[in-house]
Amino acid sequence: MSCSGGEASLVADSAIDLPISFTELSSSQKIELHGLLGPKVALANPLDYHTYIWGDTEAMSAVFAAMMEGEASFGVVILDFPRNDRCDAEEWLKGIDAVDTAKSRSGKPLGILSSLPETMPEDIAADLLARGIVPMVGMNDALAAVAAVSQAGRKKTADAVHVPDEPTEPVEIGESKSKKTLQKHGVRVPKSGSASNVEIAVEVAKEIGFPVVLKGTGLAHKSEAGAVALRLTSEKQVREAASRMPSDTFLVEEMVCDVVAELLVGVVADRAHGYVLTLAAGGVLTELLQDTVSLILPVAREDVSDALAGLRIAHVLDGYRGQPACDREAIIDAVMAVQSFAMSLPVNEVEINPLLCGENFAIAADALIRGEEKSDG
């Protein structure tokens, strides 16, 4: 609620990607607000109540209370307070009284939001806290806090936090074996084969079927080392790519086509928090994009769905600028499979990067496991 249409619009725009809903105004609310604000005010949530009632404590409190009717669970009134040494803040103090009265009438919590730290003086914030009104500073930070509280109050969908046994001697398992291990737990992986020399790599490529991906093995960062070649369509291209790689052994895989997006799915054992799941924009731009969200295991499918929706890359997953949407259920299947593996035995780390996502698939193109080597892995 604001007397500025610009502020109301900014709040609505800033909340687009957050788990916050602005409740629709009911017919009775609109009738009541129309009587209080007159015919020139467009009635909506967020509400620009204009300045017709500015300074009228009773009218303002009635408007704020009316906005809290129905399913609304938390109300926010935007007020930027002037400097006390230059302005008389009496009119703004009436706004506080109006919010306080509306809180009492509605029986619901309200907050007062200033758009800048400088426009929420410390003495004002202290007064708000004493009245049970939430002082908030900055639209983005305030909305993020509201979103966090809304999720914290949601009924838990998963069991208690799983605290893992810590592996005593971490063992890093290579890409091929890591993917085969995760495949046993339900992660989809490309068809592949290992090769101890170039000619065997050619034969494996022919068996898999072109196009293929060729990777040099035994290297931590294959892309940076020039040990990855994509879209190889012939024996000649496989030989030429292998000859350029700083490796004598190779992994040959089917080339996954029609990829819409790449994700990172990782689990790390943390002594303080248990297993921490990270979902992020993946591929070679992971570090650059820094588009991540973290959850504590165990998680339920809807937790993963909500987390994916919180990523900036979610727009791509949903189909961006004419591109097809990714198969969300397949992505969630892959994440749940990683969780199943991580919680089945002590591991330090599990990472799939990238998880190639398309219209009807989610396939682990690269994987790493660090932990105790067990019979199934």
pLDDT tens digits for range 73-109: 999 999 999 988 888 889 999 999 999 999 999 999 9
Residue 183 falls inside a structural domain? no
Judgement on whether residues 345 and 367 belong to the same structural domain of the protein: yes
Selected residue with higher pLDDT from 347 and 202 = 202
Selected residue with higher pLDDT from 211 and 157 = 211
Selected residue with higher pLDDT from 285 and 177 = 177
Judgement on whether residues 309 and 362 belong to the same structural domain of the protein: yes
**103, 132, 152 - which closes a domain:** 152
Task: Take residue 363 and report the two structure tokens written for it.
Answer: 């396939």
* C-alpha closest to that of 318 among 261, 247, 272: 261
Average confidence score pLDDT of the chain: 90
Q: How far is CA 347 from CA 165, 275, 282, 373, in A?
A: 8, 9, 22, 9
Judgement on whether residues 16 and 137 belong to the same structural domain of the protein: yes
CATH, residue 100 = 3.40.50.261
* C-alpha closest to that of 345 among 323, 314, 372: 372
Residue 185 falls inside a structural domain? no
Is the pLDDT reported for residue 66 higher than 60?
yes
Judgement on whether residues 98 and 233 belong to the same structural domain of the protein: no
Judgement on whether residues 30 and 134 belong to the same structural domain of the protein: yes
pLDDT tens digits for range 159-211: 556 666 655 555 778 889 999 999 999 999 999 999 999 999 999 999 999 99
**125, 152, 179 - which closes a domain:** 152
Domain that holds residue 222: 191-254
Decide: residue 339, CB within 10 A, 0-12 exposed, 13-18 middle, 19+ buried. Answer: buried
Residue 344 falls inside a structural domain? yes
123-139: average pLDDT = 95
Residue 314 falls inside a structural domain? yes
Judgement on whether residues 79 and 9 belong to the same structural domain of the protein: yes
Q: Which pLDDT value is given to residue 374?
A: 47
297-323: average pLDDT = 93
Residue 165 falls inside a structural domain? no
CATH, residue 359 = 3.30.470.20
CATH, residue 213 = 3.30.1490.20
**237, 254, 271 - which closes a domain:** 254
Residue 139 falls inside a structural domain? yes
331 touches 317 (CB < 8 A) = yes
pLDDT tens digits for range 249-275: 999 999 999 999 999 999 998 877 788
Judgement on whether residues 43 and 145 belong to the same structural domain of the protein: yes
Judgement on whether residues 325 and 275 belong to the same structural domain of the protein: yes
Query: Burial letters for 170-188: b for 16+ Cβ neighbours within 10 Å, e otherwise?
Result: beebebbebbbbbeebebb
Can you tell me whether residue 82 is helix, strand or coil?
A: coil
